[in-house]
Amino acid sequence: MIEIIHGDSLVMAESLVAPGSVDLIFTDPPYLKEYHYCYEWLAKEAVRVLKPEGFLIAWAGPYWKQKVMETLGAQLDYFYDFILLHRGNTSILWPRRIITGYKSLLCYILKGSKALPVTNVLGKYTGDGADKRFHKWGQDAKTAQYYIDVFSRPGDLVVDYFLGAGTFGEVCKALDREFIGFEIEQETYDIARARVAGGLGPKEKGRQHEMILD
């Protein structure tokens, strides 16, 4: 089952994602300071929905990483900081004159959990670079496929609370995972829904439904 839901995850998730039902939260929240409340909410939501051996993997930019890690660590146990190396062009942190060259995939588990990934995991990974074809903040499918594959099994439930244009949902469908994704913006939701349903291009629109079930 693949569910693509149009709406605000912070409002809708409690009624649509059952407690203790999720094997992996794999999500890319907005990085800017004004959205840090999303990470605080995400940590609390992980406590509510993760199975005892489940994982939260949240993408994070390097500028505010310490703050994000403090926020997540207040509710969860730190597991690892996976480093995603950039290909080609990369962002510059102008206030600090740093050419970053990477993002973090911050991995956390429930307090006291002994959870382990399915197999050994690369701590440093080079994907295909950000994919901006469908959304200005889009991530590449190769990286998502690698980490979803080593932190979950076929049939497991993966949730993305900040879906964007549907890359992680598309990957989960290909990997035979159950998936729930939330997207608040109508146009972006339409793109995500169309991609997961049938791989339509970024300019093509699907019909407007509240969710799609496969």
The conformation of residue 152, written as its DSSP 8-state character, comes to: -
Q: Are 128 and 87 in contact (CB under 8 A)?
A: yes
Tokens matching residue 62 = 């390097």
The pLDDT assigned to 12 comes to: 96
Counted domains in the chain = 1
Q: pLDDT value at position 188? A: 87
Q: Per the domain annotation, does 211 fall within a domain?
A: no
What residues of the chain score a pLDDT lower than 70? 88-90, 128-139, 199-214
Q: Is residue 191 part of a domain?
A: no
Structural domain including 139 reads 16-154
Instruction: Answer yes or no: is 144 within a domain.
Output: yes
Question: What pLDDT is recorded for position 212?
Answer: 32
Q: Which pairs with CB-CB distance under 8 Å and at least 24 residues apart come from 101-104? A: 102/62, 103/59, 103/60, 103/61, 103/62, 104/59, 104/60, 104/61, 104/62, 104/65
Amino acid 207: pLDDT:
25
User: Residue 128: its pLDDT value, please?
Assistant: 63
On whether residue 186 sits in a domain, the answer given is no
CATH classification of the domain holding 30: 3.40.50.150
Instruction: Tell me whether strands 50-60 and 102-109 are parallel, antiparallel or unpaired.
Output: antiparallel
Given a contact cutoff of 8 angstroms between Cβ atoms, the answer to whether 159 and 22 are in contact is yes
- pLDDT of 129: 58
pLDDT for 210:
33
